[in-house]
Structure 1
Amino acid sequence: MSDLFRKKAVAYDDAEFGMKRVLSALDLTLLGIGAIIGTGIFVLTGHAAATQSGPAVVLSFLVAGVACAFAALSYSELAASVGGSGSAYGYSYAAFGELIAWIIAWDLILEYGVSVAAVANGWSGYFNNALTAMGIGLPEQFTKGPFAEGGGGIVNLPAIIVILILMVLLIIGVKETARINAAAVAIKLLAVAIFVGVAIFNVHPANWSPFLPFGWFGHDGAGKPIGVLAGASLVFFAYVGFDAVSTAVEEAREPQRDVPVGILSALGFCTTIYVIVSALMTGIVPYTSLNVSSPASEALLLIGHDTAAGLVATGVIFGLTTVMLVLYYGLTRIITSVSRDGLLPPYFSAVNERTRTPVRTTVLTGVVMAIMAGFIPLGILAELVNIGTLVAFVLVCGGVIMLRRSHPDLPRPFKTPGGILTPVLGVLSCGALIVFLPWETHLRFILWLAAGLIIYFTYSIKHSRLASTST
């Protein structure tokens, strides 16, 4: 084993940082489902169908799912062989060294933090709709921030409150959080089942014609990418959940077996659900009517099933809650791992003696995300998430390729099927989806990475744990 692997192993075995191994393969699978089934079905499906893919949004989900499958297999191999709670950060550290690892860590912090704030912003709308139906809706000035489109309010109060509640849950302990997540996932899947059960008897095949109204790839009059591949780049956000599973390596009972099972089971199950729901959604109403914030319940309302629409909307509230919970969990574990290696101050790696959770990091990130969700509009929050996810996946696939060459004798309890071809296809497919994103997204992402490099060369490189152990 190389010095790099040895030093990383020492860091992960340090008693000061130890976490409880309490999560089973089922817990990990449910964590993945909790993060994956949410925004994709309840928000992005309608938007992607109406503006980019039409009924062929089914193909967009399949394309994104295939790209994710290559990445998921690579994640599984690295999770079983390298370990650590830093997800793509830890794997990039082992494969490429500290600088690339820091870049991907900075990328993941953006990806997870913005995702939680963005979902909280959307959750607030569904929640206030439910309050309004009960006659106790909040005034508009307390449901959107000052910079919202169509006139700003004062603060998005529900978005702030839900993040603070999740913060308390994560402080209590990961096993308790997993139990709550499992219950919420059950409610969410029940809502999906209600939608499927009603929609399957109301499909009108004429709504699927034309199936490819925008083709595979093109541009609209404003130069914005459209088509199946552009739709795949958009709905890719819906698959970020399996990445969160890999952050739980140090809290899994048998990580070399349970983490690959959790990742692949969650991805396979959720891709199937996405394809079924998107096909039914575009089959019961014209795809042009789905560009709304709640397409699943809106589609049921349009065909006269008000009660089912209400039940589905209730499931959305629970569904988006589990998305936030799992992504928030993943963010704290990534920051903790980065801090262990000295790339962030040691404040972030402290674990509470009683709960064995990173309380300081949980509180600080929760406050920051609550402020973002309360004052920044959803559209601004969501812009950078997909490119960050795709870059992380490309580096993970590249990490498998690199470690196969540099450490051929490294124990690999799980190996990607298809040999080196699988991670190569992962790099190509995820890289292609990056290309289909708007150029403004690339520019903003580059600016974020530039800020990260400034932090690295002014603080991280001087305090790196790896550097201190080599001197």
Structure 2
Amino acid sequence: MSSLLPSTASRAPDTTTTGLRRSLKRLDITAMAIAAVISFDTVGQIATGGGEAVTWTAALALLFLVPYALLFAETGAAFPQEGGPYVWVRLALGRSAAALTTLFYWVTNPIWLGGSLVFLAAQTWDGFVFHLGSGTVADYTFKLLFVWTAILTAVVSLRRGKWITTIGAAMKVLTIALFTLTAVLYGLEHGFQGLADTHFTPSTAGFLALVPILLFAYVGFEAPNAAGEEMHDPQRDVPAALGRSATVAVCCYLLPVLALLAVVPARQVTGIGGFMEGARLVFGIYGPAAGPLLTLTAVMFVFALLTQGSAWMIVSDRMQAMAAADGGSFSRSLGAFHPRLGTPVRTNLLSGIVATVFMLAAMQLAGGDAGAVFAVVLTVAVTTLLLSYLIIVPSLVLLRLRRPDVIRPYRVPFGHRGFLTCAALVYAWILLGSWCALFPGTLESLAGLPYTFDTTWGVSRTTFETFTLGTVAALLLVGTAGLRVARREGGEAQADR
């Protein structure tokens, strides 16, 4: 596989990755993608869009997810090196662009873990398992344990860690199936009351509000490629695994959102509590067993959230570690893979620190209003991830045009024309989603639509932009510093020779 890389794009010395073992088969890759991409924290947030959320979820599955899956299936099979998107951007645009892109891609995940994931997990545990309170010692303890458990599952060897994400993926699908089936049974017994107030007709306002979160829900199927050299047969397994996991993901978004809206009036659905509050309602059909069954579902829900964070830590930390090991960002020592575990332990620990700091900062946002914190921090994660795709997608196109010699076991239909059409469509969606996430309400104003920022987000625009634009600005500064450190270290290495 390394023969696909030109000599000018060689990786870091082999000593950084000597612990790698081929342990991922097709089922493992599929499960890892499902564990990472199906986001419980976005199900409720999508459902807040009402009936048209179902319409737009289906529309973007066709108009965004399909071309997106085709692009990354071809590229992932053709360039299966460890580091995934980092390698792709580096081959197309150089080490500096790859390092900055990887920073945005990677940092999304500790921000997400320390933000919306941990807040949703704590809210669920507090409401359905054991009372934690808000801002209490128990609340802080739970959140710290959640963050560092996710990090530690990324530290263990992939041979063992993959089973954690596989179980998480199975539990996630099982929880969604149980909720959907129960909602149908509830509706048959009590009537589908939510449908009376639900309108599926799409609107411009709904479209602009939902686009960023739907794109965030659908991207990430290329994530397992970050462990490309730990796959048994990536050139065959990546396209098949991506197709299967994408199909499962569409069902796991459409079905629970539709079921939730069918039994709960859209105006009562909240982003942070939507799924479990809907479960509380429909589980009433089980009589005396409802309480214990709801508690069990809540535990499964939190475990699925935990493995979701773990899956992303496993893949994104590998990307960031490869950027460091390759001399692209900060010190090469940050990219060292543990010789026995085969994991980038130093980068894993750095992710834990970032997630903890972000969690503590988010606790102070909006005076501790969990709902407002959840929505704003989720948007920060959406923003940083979507911005990375603004560089990744053009890199795929450049690789297609400049590297026709590379063997491509899977190809997008209709050759270059099909590939470029898919890339243009995906890029247009990402560009729109990035703008809507960074500057919500601006396109609504241009379209003459009413938009009250404080009511929509629960915080002022100043607070919102401080978190979103401030995070982007801070990342650019950190990325620039990382490039300088890497160049200085590289220059010193050359001088030593």
Match of 2:76 in 1: 79
2:123 and 2:273 in contact (8 A); partners too? no
1:340 and 1:349 in contact (8 A); partners too? yes
Matched, 1:290 2:274: no
1:384 and 1:444 in contact (8 A); partners too? no
Give 1:431 deviation, angstroms. 1.9
Equivalent residue letter for 1:81? A
**Whole-Å Cα distance in 2 between the matches of residues 372 and 447 of structure 1?**
15
Q: Which one of 108, 113, 126 corresponds to residue 116 of structure 1? A: 113
Give 1:323 deviation, angstroms. 0.7
Report the CA distance shift for 1:395/1:318 in structure 2 as closer, same or farther (over 3 A).
same
Match of 1:194 in 2: 178
Give 1:74 deviation, angstroms. 1.9
Deviations 1:21-67 (A, max 9, x none): 1100100110111122232xxx43333333xx211111232344342
Give 1:13 deviation, angstroms. 7.7
Larger CA deviation: 454-463 vs 120-129: 454-463
Matched, 1:404 2:400: yes
Q: Which one of 337, 352, 371 corresponds to residue 322 of structure 2? A: 337
Gaps spanning 5+ residues in structure 1: where? 145-154, 219-226
**Whole-Å Cα distance in 2 between the matches of residues 454 and 9 of structure 1?**
21
Deviations 1:287-321 (A, max 9, x none): 11111523122123334344454443232112101
1:171 and 1:355 in contact (8 A); partners too? yes
Report the CA distance shift for 1:462/1:311 in structure 2 as closer, same or farther (over 3 A).
same
Give 1:254 deviation, angstroms. 0.8
Deviations 1:306-349 (A, max 9, x none): 44544432321121011111011123201211112212202212
Equivalent residue letter for 1:7? S
Q: Which one of 341, 347, 354 corresponds to residue 340 of structure 2? A: 354
Equivalent residue letter for 1:158? F
1:336 and 1:358 in contact (8 A); partners too? yes
Matched, 1:62 2:52: no
Give 1:130 deviation, angstroms. 4.1
Deviations 1:159-189 (A, max 9, x none): 2112222333322211111112222322222
Q: Which one of 317, 325, 339 corresponds to residue 310 of structure 2? A: 325
**Whole-Å Cα distance in 1 between the matches of residues 276 and 133 of structure 2?**
23
Larger CA deviation: 198-207 vs 20-29: 198-207
Match of 1:222 in 2: none
Report the CA distance shift for 1:202/1:129 in structure 2 as closer, same or farther (over 3 A).
closer
**Whole-Å Cα distance in 1 between the matches of residues 125 and 296 of structure 2?**
13
Give 1:98 deviation, angstroms. 2.3
Report the CA distance shift for 1:407/1:277 in structure 2 as closer, same or farther (over 3 A).
same
Match of 1:49 in 2: 47
Q: Which one of 185, 203, 218 corresponds to residue 216 of structure 1? A: 203
Give 1:449 deviation, angstroms. 4.7
Q: Secondary structure at the match of 1:156?
A: helix
Q: Secondary structure at the match of 1:351?
A: coil
1:394 and 1:431 in contact (8 A); partners too? yes
Q: Which runs of 4+ in 1 moved over 6 A?
A: 1-4
Q: Which one of 150, 155, 168 corresponds to residue 166 of structure 1? A: 150
**Whole-Å Cα distance in 2 between the matches of residues 122 and 194 of structure 1?**
20
Equivalent residue letter for 1:113? P
Gaps spanning 5+ residues in structure 2: where? 364-372, 440-464
**Whole-Å Cα distance in 1 between the matches of residues 136 and 8 of structure 2?**
47
**Whole-Å Cα distance in 1 between the matches of residues 210 and 75 of structure 2?**
29
How many residue pairs were aligned? 442
Identity fraction in percent: 21
Report the CA distance shift for 1:235/1:320 in structure 2 as closer, same or farther (over 3 A).
same
TM value normalised by structure 1: 0.84
Deviations 1:223-245 (A, max 9, x none): xxxx0342131233333442422
**Whole-Å Cα distance in 1 between the matches of residues 216 and 268 of structure 2?**
22
Matched, 1:364 2:350: yes
Q: Which one of 185, 201, 210 corresponds to residue 169 of structure 2? A: 185
Larger CA deviation: 107-116 vs 77-86: 77-86
Matched, 1:94 2:73: no
**Whole-Å Cα distance in 2 between the matches of residues 14 and 238 of structure 1?**
35
CA RMSD of aligned residues (A): 3.1
Give 1:96 deviation, angstroms. 1.6
Equivalent residue letter for 2:25? S
**Whole-Å Cα distance in 2 between the matches of residues 288 and 26 of structure 1?**
39
Match of 2:484 in 1: 458
Give 1:104 deviation, angstroms. 0.7
**Whole-Å Cα distance in 2 between the matches of residues 8 and 161 of structure 1?**
43
Matched, 1:414 2:410: yes
**Whole-Å Cα distance in 1 between the matches of residues 308 and 314 of structure 2?**
10
2:153 and 2:161 in contact (8 A); partners too? yes
Match of 1:147 in 2: none
Equivalent residue letter for 1:458? R
1:34 and 1:181 in contact (8 A); partners too? yes
TM value normalised by structure 2: 0.80
Matched, 1:447 2:473: yes
Q: Which one of 183, 194, 200 corresponds to residue 207 of structure 1? A: 194
Q: Secondary structure at the match of 2:186?
A: coil
**Whole-Å Cα distance in 1 between the matches of residues 218 and 230 of structure 2?**
22
